[in-house]
Amino acid sequence: MPQYEYVCEADHEVITLLRPMAQADDPVADPAGKGRTFIRRLSTFGVSGVEGGTSAAPHVHVGGCCPCGKPQSACGRQ
């Protein structure tokens, strides 16, 4: 079941609800019982990529181990 975010028009509080898609735009009861109105907002997430338009992240060694799980000396990637 998808998660949807709803924002209060008055104080901008955000709540997340699990709802069927058919109920995504149905009215939301105020969880605090204050009679506030919540509207569905478009959920967003951040993505970072590599400069130059490719979507693949660079292979970066961190500390003594590679993110692939092998020791840096055994990875073979630079």
Q: What is the pLDDT of residues 41-74, one digit of tens each?
A: 987 776 665 555 555 555 554 555 566 666 666 6
Instruction: Give the per-residue pLDDT at 62.
Output: 52
Structural domain boundaries, residue 22? 3-41
50 occurs within a structural domain:
no
75 has a pLDDT exceeding 90: no
Whether residue 18 lies inside any domain: the answer is: yes
In the sheet that holds 3-8, the strands lie side by side as 14-18, 3-8, 38-41
Is 60 domain-assigned?
no
pLDDT at residue number 42 = 86
Cα separation of 41 and 16, whole Å? 10
pLDDT of the residue at 8: 94
Predicted model pTM: 0.55
Q: What radius of gyration, in Å, describes the C-alpha atoms of the chain?
A: 21
Work out the pLDDT band at 15, boundaries 50, 70, 90.
very high
